[in-house]
Structure 1
Amino acid sequence: MSWQPEIDELRRREKLAQEMGGKENVEKHRSKGKLPVRDRIQRVLDSGTFHETGAIAGKVEYEGSQLKNFTPANFLIGTGKIDHRKVVIGADDFTVRGGAADGAIIEKQMYSEKMAHELQKPMVRLVDGTGGGGSVKFLEAESRTYVPVNPAWDYVVKNMGRVPVVAACLGSVAGLGAARVAASHFSVMVEDISQLFVAGPQIVNFGVGQELTKEELGGTQVHRSSGAIDNIVKTEDEAFEHIRRFLSYLPSNVFQLPPVGESEDDRYRREEELISAIPKNRRKPYKIRPILKMVFDKESIFEMGRFYGGGTVTGFARLDGHPVGFLANDPYVGGGGLTVESCEKIERFVDLCETFHIPIVNFVDQPGIAIGLSAEKRGTIRKGVRAISAIYQATVPMIEIIIRRVFGVGGAGMINGDGLHLRYAWPSGDWGSLPVEGGIQVAYKRKLEESDNPQQLLEELTEKMESVRSPLRTAEAFGVEEIIDPRDTRPLLCDWIYDAYMMLPQHLGPSAHTMRP
């Protein structure tokens, strides 16, 4: 006796599962410029490493004891490798019931989250559907309604504090599907094929009377700067490359160190352009991204969320092969000040680095928290305090490079002022409670009002203040620890990063506060 007949039947069902929603549905899917789910999995993972779990789960009809019809579940799960490191992957199959939950076996989605948590492996979600309760046809089929539940959400939340979670929005994603995208450390959308919303156009039209297309409601032009998504790309392959790059900076879980690689860049490289990167005219802006490229390892910068809170630049890079997170101000966007959006961006990114024990380099040119009536109406001060609190709560090694302004509460909060204060300042540094230009108007308001020649007095006061504005005078009083030649920034940071990584083992494990999306 042999079990070969049963194995043959297993293989037959596995072959049926490979057909997904059938040839017609798969071709229709391709005609919209979208890859079928199994192609997506193969492209994001290292070649030949996908091991599927629950392949023959699906909707089945029997005729007697014989299989009559088989429709595979529209959610695939399994493990594979990205850059030789194992990950867990969960992916929607839009060719079966449009990725809706009533075409799925919900336990598969739940199992994928549990698998990532228990195996302590990164979670990769390829989302292309709702993933929620499906159609109201459920009422007709079951003759009852139900109290909604977010499946395995306890593990979704736990995973945010344990393993890297990445999500790609690869179609029209609504409801729980949209929540699965947002509940991640990194998310990406693809132009033309991706839309993300809480509810689709028909429900929005019925509920609030807005007639919008999918693109108008939740396309990439909406979410490029909404904060719901981190990065926007042009193709699915580019989305998969972003996923792979993001994961390359992070450990597999919070119990491991970030992966250090070999660097072909000279750790002692000194870029001559840095000496003149900051204009002497304080009113003149400059471009921050070329400065970052001159400091970090070549071709190592991976920026996140460029168009949300654009006054702050965040992302990952490497110093002599060591992953680091970075914060930097972009003076071309609102002067680089702390808006509601940039504060949220800082808070989330610092918490991300804290969760996975990644050292942070903070390039500071901070004019302070945004001012004015609009900023006050939005409660910007509360958002600013939250961002500053995230920095103060962080225990990962952090270093500050002051390249220009440090003003007010916002500027002061860019490093833990009660800690070691590990920082270097460039000779272009300019700091204080208020900028001299506006501060004089406030401090000497009465004298200026009483003066017979207020303009002359203002000029005299300004000249007097300028004479003591030099950062060298601050250094004389040890108000700033060290002023450096900007060209020495990379060598100094490459020296610091070895000290930082020596300190990391004491921080391993879950952080004191679990990261939220």
Structure 2
Amino acid sequence: MAEPTLSREQEHEERRAAALAMGGPKKLEQRRAEGKLNARERIALMLDPGTFRESGLFTTSAVDADRDKTPADGKVTGTGEVDGRRAAVIAYDFTVKGSSSSPVSNKKMSHFKELVVQVGMPLVYLSESTGVRMPDAMGGTGMGAANSKKRFLRQRESPWASAAFGYCFGSAAWHTVSADFAVFRKGSVLAVSSPGLVSRATGQQVDAQELGGWKVHAEVTGYADAVADTDEEAIELIRRFLSYLPSHNGETPPVAPVPSGSGERAAELNDIVPQTRTQTYDVRKVIEIVADTGSVFPIKARYGKSLDTSLVRIGGQSVGIIANNPMFKGGALDGPACDKATSFLVLCDSYNIPVVFLVDQPGFLIGLEAERNKIAGKVINWMNALSLVTVPKIAVTLRKNYGQAYINMGGGLTADTTAGWWSTEVSFMDPTSAVSVVHGVDAESDPELYAQRLAEMAKGTTAYDVARVFGVEQVIDPAETRDFILGALKDHYRARTNGIGEHLLRAWPTSY
């Protein structure tokens, strides 16, 4: 007996239901048991309720044998709103062939990469993938059909954000390291190839977390801008990140209401920062006081920890803060700190976010390890990026400010405006080190001569000495720091371009 013919409405509803079912009840239940959300649940949290418009629901693999096994071809894509602003989202559906990438799913992703540039809205990747789908990519017909002319081009016309939720190989890795903001859920793994493939190729057994676990990327590579315990936390971090950024690089970031109490703790700065330059403190406490209440959003907090980079709001305006942290390595700048600074400058300049330097540093960390890890090149990468920044740059020296790092941190006219606390001390190097280098004397061998030479080397290093030659424009009480920054933001607003920079760093590599 012939099966009854479905009406068009019935066929449409059956196809829709099959696509929305993703990889089926068993695989969805397995994810729930693992404490992971599925692709559609992630989108529901990412976007404002009721705003998701899906595109590509009825796509499947182009391989006939896989047609009924690949709903949406493993990538759920569409547009919606985040806090009332339009955004595009690409969610990897791990229940469909491990969300492996195919020619069809790549076509979907390419469409949205082009769309966000064309219309001016952010793109969010909710990433988890086993990589390229096999055997689709095998042979000359697989590789020869690839269209990669612009696939890996990033020019930062619109913000990208990515969350790494689990295994991220292939395109999930490429998009995450190309993003302006990447959050890694604990337990996630990002690598060029899976541990199994690496083991087979090299003959060595490789642990997934050792190969490319979240901790490696938070503390060693610096790919992770933030770390989350759960899917929900990772998605909320992306929503928060986007709140500091414009929808595209042709507008300024949204201005938020200033919370009550902002700036009221200014007098505490005199107690937080010790007068003695060798005493440590946590600069994050300074940032919390200078910024609007509750607005500090750290970037790469576990990486290059002698330098703190945070998005904040000051007077409701998005601002990027680059601050030395004496709690770690005395504030000395190592290779990771240099990379972190450069990356953050690129982010801020690309999206019209003014930069504030809070300076208290003894110089760059030198030695065998530093030189072998290319510290010289990293210093100059930073300087090259700084020279191309066209958003307002404001530098405030809190205590010590020595050597080439003085220039990297906004000194020597590399910032648009500068101030120094009355505790400011500026020189080519710490006077105590200079005595040893120049005179070869120390406090133990000849205390009297050492004191004499130290006094000579310390001459002309105070805040007022620097101000006398216009090395800083103002010498301020620490309690005046927030007010100085607020005034500088007004004075250096780019009125001719409505606050839009030239974006000379828009094509700077996202990883280096």
**One fold, TM greater than 0.5?**
yes
Which residue is equivalent to 1:48?
A: 50
Aligned positions of 1:158-173 closer than 5 A: 158=154, 160-173=155-168
**Post-superposition offset of 1:211:** 1.4
Which residue is equivalent to 1:414?
A: 409
**Post-superposition offset of 1:409:** 1.0
**Post-superposition offset of 1:221:** 2.4
Deviates further, 246-255 or 479-488:
479-488
Aligned positions of 1:12-411 closer than 5 A: 12-59=14-61, 71-102=71-102, 105-130=105-130, 132-136=131-135, 139=138, 146-147=142-143, 154=150, 156-158=152-154, 160-192=155-187, 194-225=188-219, 226-265=221-260, 269-411=264-406
Give the alignment's TM-score, normalised by structure 2. Answer: 0.91
**Post-superposition offset of 1:491:** 1.9
What do the CA deviations read for 1:268-305 (whole angstroms, capped 9, x no partner)? 63522111222122211111111110110000000010
Q: 1:254 to 1:137 in 2, by over 3 A?
A: closer
Q: Any unmatched runs of 5+ in structure 2? A: 1-5
What do the CA deviations read for 1:216-257 (whole angstroms, capped 9, x no partner)? 322222222121221111011110111001100000001111
Q: 1:349 to 1:400 in 2, by over 3 A?
A: same
Q: 1:153 to 1:250 in 2, by over 3 A?
A: farther
Which residue is equivalent to 2:481?
A: 489
Local SS of the residue matching 1:443: helix
Residue pair 2:421, 2:475 contacting (<8 A) in 1 also = yes
Residue pair 1:322, 1:497 contacting (<8 A) in 2 also = no
Local SS of the residue matching 1:431: strand
Which residue is equivalent to 2:465?
A: 473
Which residue is equivalent to 1:516?
A: 509
User: Structure 2: which amino acid aligns with 1:288?
Assistant: V
**Post-superposition offset of 1:465:** 4.2
**Post-superposition offset of 1:420:** 6.5
User: Structure 2: which amino acid aligns with 1:27?
Assistant: E
Local SS of the residue matching 2:310: strand
**Post-superposition offset of 1:478:** 3.6
What do the CA deviations read for 1:120-164 (whole angstroms, capped 9, x no partner)? 11000011103x43224754xxx7564378766725524x42000
Partners of 2:473 and 2:378 in 1: CA distance:
29
Deviates further, 6-15 or 163-172:
6-15
User: Structure 2: which amino acid aligns with 1:45?
Assistant: L
Residue pair 1:347, 1:386 contacting (<8 A) in 2 also = yes
Deviates further, 42-51 or 499-508:
499-508
Local SS of the residue matching 2:475: coil
Residue pair 1:60, 1:68 contacting (<8 A) in 2 also = no
Q: 1:85 to 1:224 in 2, by over 3 A?
A: same
Partners of 1:283 and 1:74 in 2: CA distance:
56
What do the CA deviations read for 1:333-367 (whole angstroms, capped 9, x no partner)? 22222211111111111011111111011101122
Residue pair 1:167, 1:184 contacting (<8 A) in 2 also = yes
Partners of 2:338 and 2:149 in 1: CA distance:
27
Is 1:440 aligned with 2:435?
Answer: yes
Partners of 2:503 and 2:494 in 1: CA distance:
18
Residue pair 2:349, 2:501 contacting (<8 A) in 1 also = no
Local SS of the residue matching 2:88: strand
Give the alignment's TM-score, normalised by structure 1. Answer: 0.90
Identical residues among aligned pairs (%)? 30
Residue pair 1:73, 1:103 contacting (<8 A) in 2 also = no
Q: 1:462 to 1:218 in 2, by over 3 A?
A: same
**Post-superposition offset of 1:12:** 2.5
Local SS of the residue matching 1:101: coil
Q: 1:421 to 1:166 in 2, by over 3 A?
A: closer
How large is the RMSD of aligned CA atoms in angstroms?
2.8
